[in-house]
Structure 1
Amino acid sequence: MTVARTAALRFGATLVNRTEVVDLQKDSNGNVNGVVVKADGRTFTVSTKAVVNAAGVWSDDVRALDEAEHPRSIRPAKGVHITVAWSKVRNTVAAVIPVPGDKRSVFVVPWGQFTFVGTTDTDYTGPVDDPQCNEDDVEYLLRALNGSITETVTTDDILGTWAGLRPLVADPEASGRTADLSRRHKVRRSDSGDVTITGGKLTTYREMAADTIDEVLSEVLDADRITRFRRRSKTKHIKIHGANGYEELVDSADTISPLGGDQVRRLADRYGSDATTVLAIAESDQLLAEPLVPGLHYLRAEAIFAVRYEMATTVDDILSRRTRARLETRDASADAAAAVAALLAPELGWDEAEQARQVADYRARIDEELEAIVH
């Protein structure tokens, strides 16, 4: 989110969410010159000089719009984490622990009042839109955790789960384990000029972006346009949005807000210098300074900030992605869903029927998560 906001606020990028790419448009020479998208019930074409396909596990589907057949170049690998109360583990630092009977290790990371345990690395052939943590994943992580601590942790102690898919580059010569596949990224340009980036890791995102744009500049854009760009990436020198002013905000935390220094420091760590905007929202109405989900530190003001400045449009956006309430306390977040919907309603123009639909949708997702790990 912060990277996207940096692109928009500092470099003028236009950001659009909930917009599906349904086709690619080509000129008379067969070069891609537009993207056909569907949004708000309308289909229209966005003209462009270059297209970058950075769709992760969906990148092969985008390539299929451009090429004669589906390339099947991605081998999705599922990674899962579980959340337990910190008091069950009592780790003061992040640790790496072995998995009994396996050659892999998992991380055990303290996160305030919680501890996160993960991740797994397994082949995945199911629907990529919503991978779920299942019983086998839970058993694997609990076996690792219980092999390294004195108190036994059970499925009943799990407060939240989440699963994601790594878009690993398929390698026909690799072993059967996704853990043995390379995490290096790959940039590929099609005959029509569509540039696809796959593989890689979050920790190398800047290198991945630089290599992708280098390919666009050197192989796709015409010479006249290239001369207007710097040929050497300057990403290593660019601070993400919110970095400027962060240290000054933390230094003055104890004096700048009636919410107190601890709250200011927490918000600064989450939002950087944008914490001042969250503080202003919270200080404008006492109710907005109250917890969003009972038992968690998120403020109701953070949900308002997410709608106004982070393109949140659903209850699930707020509880699963803009905050981490669902990952930390799944059941409490479900209980709070109705109050969150009522809070968002004036901002998003929801009537009572839409609020009810949002709550039902969110709670159905929670039920699906529970059913996947407990049968």
Structure 2
Amino acid sequence: MNRIKNLERLQNEEFDICIIGAGASGAGCALDATLRGFKVALIEKEDFAAETSSKSTKLIHGGVRYLEQAFKNLDFAQLRQVKHGLEERHTVIRNAPHLAHPLALITPVFSWFEGFYFKIGLTIYGFFAKNDPMPRAEWLNKKETFEHIPTLTPNLHSSVMYYDGQLDDARYCLALAHSADEAGAVVVNHASIVGFSKDAKGKLNEATVLDNLSGNHIQVKAKLFINCTGPHADSIRLMANDKQEKRLRPSKGVHIMLPPDVLKSQDAMLIPKTKDGRVVFVIPFEGEVMVGTTDDEYKALDKEPILIAQEVDFLLDTLRPYLAKVPDKSQIKSGFGGLRPLIGSSGSKATKKLVRDHEVEFDEESNLLSLLGGKWTTYRLMAKDTIDEACKILNKQTECSTELHYLVGGENYDFESWRKIQKDFSLDEATSQHLVKKYGTKARAVLEIGKLTEKIHPSYPFIKAEVIYTVKEEMACSLRDFFARRTRMELIEWKATLDSVEVVAELMASELNWNEEQKRSQILRYKQLLKTFIDHANTHK
């Protein structure tokens, strides 16, 4: 992906479709539309997956809580959401096997009846997963449970094990955008829509785009604009037509990152009920343990949602009945907050009860198509529904082909190729496996483009060659692009990230032609941001 060339194309060409927002839904729409033969532009104000799509629980699932709500409340919308998620689960894994894989989840229970209840529920859950090779739910006795997760409380009776999928959400979204770019889409990050122009009938025909890196404005012409901005969808809807009512009720969810000793397992744990009626997941991710999430309405959309001390307390308290030894706050390595793009009026029920389904909305007055709501697991179905509607509007009927389309790095992927890479480049096992799992069949290209095999930080497998590769090939433009989304170092450990900023800044400065002042500014801003995260997570207010 070459940002400079794509900016030139954005300025000089006209498009069938211009998609606003490059999270999972926007990048998914860009790939789908491009594969159908449309001329597509994809514009993102920050970075690919910068907001909601990089801050999920990293699960590909139908939602066991939605299934329970569906049966308890006879809520068929919840049941439909579960069905859609489970039908899409195997496709998400198939199309990027380096970035997504099956994951066993253990639900500890404290009585025979509780075990029976969850076994029935999770068996039904598996029933909806058609054409899915994942193992079915299994009731484990106490001894078998401890063989899977040895750190659980001795007070448990047994557990129920079932399977869902796990993904690296930020890199999966990047792979969607990268695949759209390879298919011919014009893909640009760090570019904001700041206004629209309309034709004599009041239909959108042009957008004014601000290149946030240069400060230049670009006029982008398109027959159809598609709004895929997640929690921020109302701002684009109202920019296109200020008579529309707001549709979104964003909610905030946070996660904390703990050391691997919390679980001592490659399996995850599902905590089936919290004091506020949610479920919480305790999941191995990038060698650490991620715990989340919460669900609280969030209105300050101009501010990044971040982890605060009270939320840390809530998640640690939620762990208490399930672990033999509960970690304390000093063990928290990092954390993050994200927003869910929920559809619902301000006076409706609590956000945790709102359905995570999606809706494709067409505003005939402005000609804006908006994709509202949804969740990661169903991104492909969301994109399909949106581009199906675009086909009707543009009077071009073509079929969706994304179900069997491998993403960049996914086709002919073989995890065992790490052994040859280790031998050829004299790497350690952890680094070799990391490169294969994150770049798939492009792993060797990472090493060949940079030939810098020195680690960025001694405790983690990331190497200097990745900085060069992600700038040249994956449109990394800032320190945070690299630390938060090209690698997941910001999510894994704040302190190690702080310690690595200068090393990465030197490499990025060389590739992006930053002068000394620009480099120092990048370092200062990013370090201040990391310190803000640390302060808020540790300070009660």
**TM-score scaled to structure 1, two decimals?**
0.91
Q: Deviations over 1:20-39 (max 9, x none)?
A: 10112211112211111111
Q: Whose relative contact order is higher, 1 or 2, with alpha carbons under 8 Å and at least 6 apart?
A: 2
Is contact 1:100-1:147 (8 Å) kept?
Answer: no
The SS at the match of 2:300 is: coil
What corresponds to 2:432 in structure 1? 264
What corresponds to 2:441 in structure 1? 273
What corresponds to 1:308 in structure 2? 472
**Equivalent-residue separation in structure 2 for 1:215 and 1:338 (angstroms):** 47
Is contact 1:89-1:151 (8 Å) kept?
Answer: no
Q: Pick one of 458, 475, 478 that aligns with 1:294.
A: 458
Q: Runs of 5+ in structure 2 lacking a partner?
A: 1-173
**Equivalent-residue separation in structure 2 for 1:326 and 1:251 (angstroms):** 27
CA 1:189–1:93 in structure 2 vs 1: closer, same or farther (change >3 Å)?
A: same
Deviation at 1:127, TM superposition (A): 3.4
**Residues 143-158 of structure 1: matches in 2 within 5 Å?**
143-158=317-332
Q: Deviations over 1:314-365 (max 9, x none)?
A: 1111111211111111011111111111121110112222221111111110
Is contact 1:54-1:197 (8 Å) kept?
Answer: yes
CA 1:363–1:236 in structure 2 vs 1: closer, same or farther (change >3 Å)?
A: same
Is contact 2:417-2:436 (8 Å) kept?
Answer: no
CA RMSD across the alignment: 1.8
What corresponds to 1:25 in structure 2? 197
CA 1:35–1:112 in structure 2 vs 1: closer, same or farther (change >3 Å)?
A: closer
The SS at the match of 1:75 is: coil
Q: Pick one of 222, 228, 237 that aligns with 1:54.
A: 228
What corresponds to 2:9 in structure 1? none
Q: What is the one-letter code of the residue matched to 1:180?
A: K
State how many pairs are aligned: 360
Deviation at 1:128, TM superposition (A): 4.2
Q: Runs of 5+ in structure 1 lacking a partner?
A: none
Q: What is the one-letter code of the residue matched to 1:7?
A: A
Structure 1 outlier segments of 4+, above 6 Å: none
CA 1:52–1:277 in structure 2 vs 1: closer, same or farther (change >3 Å)?
A: same
**Equivalent-residue separation in structure 1 for 2:266 and 2:191 (angstroms):** 42
Q: Pick one of 261, 264, 276 that aligns with 1:87.
A: 261
Q: Pick one of 326, 329, 334 that aligns with 2:490.
A: 326
Q: Pick one of 405, 413, 419 that aligns with 1:254.
A: 419
What corresponds to 1:217 in structure 2? 391
Is contact 1:61-1:70 (8 Å) kept?
Answer: no
The SS at the match of 1:168 is: coil
Is contact 2:494-2:534 (8 Å) kept?
Answer: no
Deviation at 1:106, TM superposition (A): 0.6
What corresponds to 1:109 in structure 2? 283
CA 1:99–1:12 in structure 2 vs 1: closer, same or farther (change >3 Å)?
A: same
What corresponds to 2:186 in structure 1? 14
The yes-or-no answer on 1:189 pairing with 2:385 is no
**TM-score scaled to structure 2, two decimals?**
0.64
The SS at the match of 1:49 is: strand
Deviation at 1:207, TM superposition (A): 0.4
Deviation at 1:266, TM superposition (A): 2.5
Deviation at 1:254, TM superposition (A): 2.2
Q: Deviations over 1:259-310 (max 9, x none)?
A: 358343331211111112112135x3xxx21112231111111111111111
**Equivalent-residue separation in structure 2 for 1:81 and 1:138 (angstroms):** 8
What corresponds to 1:205 in structure 2? 379
Q: Deviations over 1:160-180 (max 9, x none)?
A: 0111101111146742x2110
Is contact 1:171-1:181 (8 Å) kept?
Answer: no
Q: What is the one-letter code of the residue matched to 1:322?
A: R
**Equivalent-residue separation in structure 2 for 1:99 and 1:356 (angstroms):** 47
